[in-house]
Chain A
Amino acid sequence: MRVTINGSPREVPDGTTVAQAVRILTTATTGVAVALNDEVVTRGSWDTTALGDSDRVEVLTAVQGG
């Protein structure tokens, strides 16, 4: 199925979880937060939240700013 991770289209296997999507970008699990279709997915739910076709995943972290 096709999903979008941080704005880039990606082909991932059916059943891919949020945790697996995050690991495509980073091995870090702290200092990182995930939004799935504009809703926060708490860290405790990453392993149990499966992506659906056309889902939009945003993986954010803190950067210099303000």
Chain B
Amino acid sequence: MDDLIIAGEKFSSRLIMGTGGAPSLEVLDQALAASGTELTTVAMRRLDPSARGSVLDVLRGRGIKVLPNTAGCFTAGEAVLTARLAREALGTNWVKLEVIADERTLLPDPIETFDAAERLVADGFVVLPYIGDDPALARRLEQAGCAAVMPLGAPIGSGLGIRNPHNIELIVEAAGVPVILDAGIGTASDAALAMELGCDAVLLATAVTRAQRPDLMAAAMRGAVQAGRLARQAGRIPRRRYAEASSPMTP
């Protein structure tokens, strides 16, 4: 499979993993290994002195690049501070920008997200914003200097798949930066569809970490992303209303 390039950095895997929802660090470690991912998100939270082990040790052990997110932020100001703390703690200027509008839907707030993106780009961050499936907003964020755009397929953790494939296609058609389908993936066919629609990568967590067999689902996602990418590059046949014989019709 061809490399994914974000902000000049190459990745041979087009599957970006999240780490939320895994029952233990051991299960997470096995799932990440099976996924083949090279880029994985973490959240920033208050240090818990009683916590045992660290997700950072798991990522380091697997040689996976860490992508801090701003999960839990409701305003641009909170997100900018969280990104700066992540840069300080983790030594990376990459950030998955996530500013949510409310706790019930966890849908991204476009106004706060755009505000934060402008401020973080100006501060030298490589910004990957999580957004709704809005082609206009995706274009504006690219113009603002974001290194990728990350439209959702469906709400976080919902497993509803890609609810508006048409909008994802519109985002892909117009984008000059990588499009990473983020959130909503429920199973392997959803991830394959994202790639068939032309997305450059898929980010998922819950579909793997809360599967009954996380390592098995991670392997399924890895295969699905590869298959979807190859199918996109191969170019699918047009849909037809009626049959078209594949064997000669004359004896």
Q: Which residues of A contact B (CB under 8 A)?
A: 6-7, 25-26, 31-35, 38, 40, 42-43, 58-66
Partner of B44, one of A7, A38, A62: A62
Interface size, B (range): 20 to 34
Contacts of A26 in B (CB 8 A): 47, 49
B interface, by DSSP: helix, strand, loop or mixed?
A: mixed
B237 at the interface (CB under 8 A from A): no
Q: How far is the CA of A4 from the CA of B90 in the complex (A)?
A: 24
Which residues of chain B have C-beta atoms less than 8 A from A66's C-beta? 18-20, 41-43, 67, 69, 71, 96, 98, 205
A59–B49 Cα distance when bound, in Å, is 11
Q: Which residues of A contact B90 (CB under 8 A)?
A: 31, 62
Whether B85 and A40, one on each chain, are in contact in the complex, defined by CB atoms closer than 8 angstroms, is: yes
A25: chain B residues within 8 A (beta carbon): 47, 49
**Cβ-defined contact, A65 with B54, below 8 A:** no
Tell me how far the C-beta of B73 lies from the nearest C-beta in chain A, rounded to whole angstroms: 12
Alpha-carbon gap, A38 to B69, bound state (A): 18
Q: Is the CB of B47 within 8 A of A64?
A: no
B68 sits at the interface (CB 8 A): yes
